[in-house]
Each structure stands twice: as C-alpha cells, then as structure tokens.
Amino acid sequence: MLITKTPKELLKSIKKKLTLIKAAGGLVENAKGEFLFIFRNKKWDLPKGKVEKGEKVKDTAVREVEEECGVKIEKREERLCKTYHIYELGGKVILKRTSWYKMFVKGSPKLIPQKEEGITTASWVAPLGIKVKMKNTYPLILDVLKAESLV
C-alpha cells in the first residue's frame, strides 16, 4: 500500500518506470436491468480487452464486449471510471489502465462466450445476484460496480 498527499504525482512517477497497456471494457445492462458478467481464469469478471493501434478507447470497449460475449451494443455512455492493475509478463512490469463504459443492449440477448479468450461462461446477473459474484472477482471489478452504485 502506498500513502501519499499527492497521488497524481506519485502515479505519474510510477507510470514512467512501467510498460503501459491501455484497455477498455464495459458494464453492460439489458432491458431487464440485469448486468453482463463473464467467468474467466476461475473468477467472475467484466468483458474488456486491449486497445489496438489507431483505435479509440471507447471503440475498443464496445468491440471487446461484442467479441467476448456475442452481443450487439445499442448504446455506450461516457466513461464510468478507470482502473489500474499491475502484473509481470516476460520479466517486465506491466501497468494496465482500463477505461470502463456503461453500455446497453436491446432486450436480453443470448450470450455466446468467446472460448478462445478463456471465457467459459457469460451470464446476465440481476442486481441482487451481484453480491454472490463479488465473492470471487478482482478488486478492480468492485471499483467499476461502485462507480455505478451497484455495491
């Protein structure tokens, strides 16, 4: 844990020493007020992925949700929040910055999990069912849910 009076300055200095990967994802709501969750790497997660060269972050968010879950996004709102997490890959320390967007689909479409991305399940979860998913998810997903006042 890092404690500082100037968090923006500290983050800026840390970011200079790391490899930054930009990603984007979505908190998707259907017409029944349910939210889209995916199960990947033995954890409940939200669909997201890396920004491709020349791609706008907000377009990445929609593309990744559609690819990972087989749905058509009807509406994307402004950014909900940003999350950061650090991991090691090939001897490098990676800082992944994910921009999250609230999205909507028409109706309650059938979900098709993208197996080649390691997604074994995609499901619609009612607000009351989110608490169960929170027991087996990543801390940054809780931040996204908090940004939408779901937890």
Per-position DSSP letters for 5-42, written without gaps between them: S-HHHHHHHHHHTSEEEEEEEEEEE-TTS-EEEEEETT
Please choose, from the candidates 67, 66, 100, the residue with its C-alpha nearest in 3D space to the C-alpha of residue 81: 100
**Number of helical H runs and strand E runs in the chain:** 4, 7
At 57-115, the pLDDT tens digits run 999 999 999 999 999 999 999 999 999 988 888 888 899 999 999 999 999 999 999 99
Going by pLDDT thresholds of 50, 70 and 90, the confidence category of residue 151 is confident
Token look-up 């984007």 returns 24
H or E element: which one contains 107? Answer: none
CA distance 122 to 110: 9
Would you say residue 145 has pLDDT above 80? yes
Would you say residue 128 has pLDDT above 80? yes
CA distance 27 to 122: 13
CB half-sphere exposure, 126, CA atoms < 13 A: 3
Residue 2: its pLDDT value, please?
A: 81
Structure tokens at 32: 């029944």
CA distance 104 to 36: 10
CA distance 88 to 95: 9
